Structure 1
């Protein structure tokens, strides 16, 4: 598996984003086997047989984070080497304060600290635990028998999405670039770009092989949070269909409220389940993108 080095990419505008609606996801959302208890903790990456232990993401928020830490302790008594935040949303960085008691290395893309501050509620910015190390395009480090590489492909789900590659294991954690058969959160205020998201998914898909295990940020309980590279193309196809729908509706003179009356896009019926987000949320996000250009 190979990832080509990314050229320098301009940073997206950092505007206050509305809080992620996934801070308290519905209980029907799935979690990976062995993950911390509580509603939909972020999908975790493997802890290999060789010390030290690495947690790929902070837990959903501080209540489940101790459970996640205890789960890691049951697997290994090796020290925690680092925590990697795939992006700035609270359901992915909310446990930083817990894990920071066990490691001083919290790694994320360079835009994440500012996005965390911009998205904080009034007076809450100083209460957050921020990344201690950041990167712009690529970051890589050996860890035991593994090499972990982080890539930034440009604005997509947010303006600071890191892709975590476990090179030797052929495992890739794509964070919230994949909501597996679930309506995604397109954080326009947090630097999202749905067209850039489409491009990123195609690039990542081309860099993986059919044996790569892909860990998703969230998943429909019928499909789970692990899969293969084909799952990236499902999200790509949904985002493409969504953009096409909004474009066609705007050209036909439909208002945003009229557009949002549509409950499902053809071919994506599986996305309709008991979930924190709806098609209407996605339509509004892409409408905001298109009308801001």
Structure 2
């Protein structure tokens, strides 16, 4: 009964230094037991992901020999556990080897400070349609990236949201609550403190994950590249329902495009729907 409950393991995360010891032998013994008829599964892990090494600031493997070892306890004492945790997830793709950066640690701490300070702007105000759309796009991105272990891009999306909120005088309380829920897996201690400060008696860890509304994900505008003789000369934002004729006219009036046209009439203008306007002189 215990075997059926615990095996195979749902998810295994291991580094390159564990391949021989953990993976080779765990798979070997599992297959032997399966072939002998003792178990009914032939792989020990349903899902396996490989994580890259965290290198020293000098881009070499951490070693006492090089004197480049980073002690996480020192980082926690100076910047806090949430900063250390979140920075490691923000460093880059999970599978990649990544050099440590004290500057990067400080950057994540500044981000958490920004989120903390936004509490002063939380109110019962009604958010604008643009703010609602931004939040739902953030929820979608963080949800998808967290589920696929793309933690760095999930954090980057949260940073985009906070940067926009930093320019607002007021932030809707229920929006800030959803932001806390998104932040909780990445910075659990800070999230719990802010959740309690909003008047909640239960923990943020016990809440349901926020959901997004597809109706707020539809873009009203698109960004198009404008090329002159195959080289990018401008970008422009246009309405999604703007006609091809109006888009081309808009592109030909772009200041930098006019500069490169040098007063010449285009020989050909090609519009690739939703992507670019290519002007040939």
Q: What is the TM-score normalised by the length of structure 2?
A: 0.24
Higher helix share: 2
The structure having more radius of gyration, on CA atoms, is 2
Higher RCO (CA 8 Å, separation ≥ 6 residues): 1
Q: What is the TM-score normalised by the length of structure 1?
A: 0.24
